[in-house]
Structure 1
Amino acid sequence: MAVDETAADRLAEYRGKRAPERTPEPVPPGGAPQPGGGDTFVIQEHHARSLHWDLRLERDGVLVSWAVPKGVPADPRTDHLAVHTEDHPLEYAAFEGEIPEGEYGAGRMTIWDRGTYETEKWSGSEVKVVLHGSRVSGRYVLFRTGGRNWMIHRMDPPADPDAEPLPERLRPMFAEERARLPRDREAYGFEFAWGGRRLLAYVEGGRTRFTDGAGRDAGGPAGLGSRLGRALGSRPAVLDGEVAEVEGRETYLLADLLYLDGRSLLDVPYRRRRELLDGLELNGARWQTSPWYPGEAGAVREAAREQGLPGILAKRLDSPYEPGERSGAWRHLPV
């Protein structure tokens, strides 16, 4: 369907894909749509089979819609794919809910941003708008590249001029082997050493890739990448952890946060990085945020011994993250 089509029933395709008795989505009756204010936009985060964001612009009584797999770009240096989908009813601008399994677009739908917009140009191959939302504001252009495939480009300067790009690859920081606990134990945080496979996870636009302890591309447990990407949603992050067996299941145990929301955390003290990681509440079927215990060396060592773990880690609370280094600020101690 062309973007500028003005047929009487703009929602026929939408209704044809949905059964009102089986989905909580609004499914208005047939006929010409009733015009609204004409300037509403909404971006919905859609946890369907693949996480994506749906950009919808009110036009001629419907919401003209694009699925944007990596979200609306915040920087003009990066264009994102936008797949034109069927027009949606105006009521959809307020919709949040769970589309049942087996139905078209099954999964959770939430409102990520909404507001008003101004039109600078609207044709069947190019749409220029100015968005005024709480999370996204500025001039954008959508341009058609073929069929339903479009691209979306930010025309204004970066939304956050100080934002740093997600690192391409980092090597993890390593601990020195020590036989004894540090004397100033209150200056350290203590963790379990799981004895697993070290992986760094790079999450952006709901997608995840991994590198190993040598900084090489690596794979994680089956299904981990897409699920972890969905858990973080639109928040770009670099995570440090290890894959180990927990209660008979391969699990990614997260222990550090190296980048978040356009900011490198390498120079941020370990204590603060752990607080930020805990705040993300990343605990799922295939991943867990590994616990840490400031100053509690004896209890952690005893618990590790009882669980049959190979050791514990002592990490200075004020230590930065030193990629690729084996640093005395981190100590690996046997149990």
Structure 2
Amino acid sequence: MIVLHSPFYPMEPETFPRPFDDPDFGFQIKWDGTRILAHVSGEVKLFNRKKKSRTLQYPEIASSLFDIFKGRSLVLDGEIITLVNGKPSFQQLMRRDWASDPATVKSLMEKIPVTYVVFDILYLDGDELVNLTFQERDRLLKSLIPSIDPVVVTDTFPVIGTTLFDVVKQRGLEGIVAKRLDSRYEMGKKSNKWLKIKNKRLINARIGGYLAEGREVRSLLLGIFQDGDFIYIGRAGSGLKAAESRALYDLLSKSRVAACPFNTMPPLAAREKPCWVEPRLEIQVEYLDFTDEGYLRHPVIKGVDFDSV
């Protein structure tokens, strides 16, 4: 049962290994952002997938939803994203998502504008819609929202999952979601009525530290530069060959520094003693997506640019 302004866990898709075509499914782009459920009724409250409030972090979204739906009550499901060079940037979005000071939020609003990409409607003017089919909810949603930034409705493509995935892959986007047209919204459940197909992507990161075993590197602590800050995005060791591991150890040991170069200390186990280095050496990493904490999921090292130092 939906209670307005009371958070709940959203429906989640299961992972599927490959794109497909099927007339029983609608296909949507999987946006690389943060999942947000918007409750609108007199006021607007935003909650993330973990039921944490995010109204403070995204006031322009709350204000736009209030203006669009004056006098109405509804609950929307979607993803908040920010675009950099036409593509969603999860790392930039996290700067907004982690902000808790109103003055900081106000400053970041100008630097990092966001868009709420809505893909479902679960409640409208006293009626729960979770038992309607996805196709019915999708049609209703598209009739209600005019899709004017910063609140837009995502497109739903019938049948052509493989074609949509090819487009997503070419553009370096996160992936697609396939939703059965007859599926109900199962709150708090991971369901095979929704399937996510991930596009493995590449990112160029810099090494800010490493963990070694003997004279071989076992794990690299990685980051990217944003607006002068060196932001930690996770660690990677998979994909390193033995010769590369030894060569990295010899090279990185020459650029060690005393202090952690990241703007925030990476999470470390009690016994881990990283060696910090100047973040000059660049590597290419393949990954699936980012965790809610902003770290690379399933990173694999694809190449080391030894000429970048």
Q: Deviations over 1:103-140 (max 9, x none)?
A: xxxxxxxxxxxxxxxxxxxxxxxxxxxxxxxxxxxxxx
The separation in 2 between residues aligned to 1:200 and 1:281, in whole angstroms, is 16
Matching residue within 169, 177, 188 for 2:7? 169
Indicate if the aligned counterparts of 1:165 and 1:262 stay in contact, CA closer than 8 A: no
**CA deviation profile, 1:52-84 (whole Å, cap 9, x unmatched):** xxxxxxxxxxxxxxxxxxxxxxxxxxxxxxxxx
Q: Say whether 1:213 aligns with 2:55.
A: no
State the SS of the aligned residue for 1:275.
Answer: helix
Deviates more, 1:265-274 or 1:248-257: 248-257
| Of 23, 41, 65, the match for 1:186 | 23
Deviation at 1:171, TM superposition (A): 1.3
Structure 1 residue ranges without an equivalent (≥5):
1-163
Select which of 163, 166, 185 maps to 1:302: 166
Higher helix share: 2
- Spell out the pairing of 1:53-72 with structure 2 (5 A cutoff): none
Residue in 1 that maps onto 2:125: 261
Of 199, 202, 212 in structure 1, the residue corresponding to residue 39 of structure 2 is 202
The corresponding residue for 2:63 is: 226
Does the C-alpha gap of structure 1 residues 168 and 222 become closer, same or farther in structure 2, counting only changes over 3 Å?
closer
**In 1, Cα distance between equivalents of 2:160 and 2:133:** 18
Question: Matched residues in 1 for 2:146 and 2:51: separation?
Answer: 23
Unaligned runs of 5+ in 2: 88-112, 200-309
Over the matched positions of the two proteins, sequence identity in percent amounts to: 30
**CA displacement 1:184-227 (0-9 Å, x = unmatched):** x111000001121000000112x210111012222352321012
Partners of 1:275 and 1:167 in 2: CA distance: 24
Q: Which runs of 4+ in 1 moved over 4 A?
A: none
Where 1:298 maps in the other structure, the secondary structure is helix
Residue 317 in structure 1 maps to residue 181 in structure 2: yes
Residue 238 (str. 1) matches residue 75 (str. 2): yes
Q: In structure 1, what is the Cα distance between the partners aligned to 2:71 and 2:192?
A: 35
- The aligned residue for residue 247 of structure 2 is none
Relative distance call for 1:317 and 1:290 in structure 2 (3 A) is same
CA–CA distance in 2 between the matches of 1:215 and 1:182? 32
How far is the alpha carbon of 1:317 from its aligned partner?
0.4
Larger RCO of the pair (alpha carbons < 8 Å, separation 6+)? 2
Deviation at 1:256, TM superposition (A): 0.4
Q: Per-residue CA shift, 1:150-200, capped at 9, x if unaligned?
A: xxxxxxxxxxxxxx86362221111111102356x1110000011210000
CA–CA distance in structure 1, aligned partners of residues 71 and 79 of structure 2 = 23
Q: Give the alignment's TM-score, normalised by structure 2.
A: 0.52
Contact between 2:5 and 2:45, CA under 8 Å: does it hold in 1?
A: no
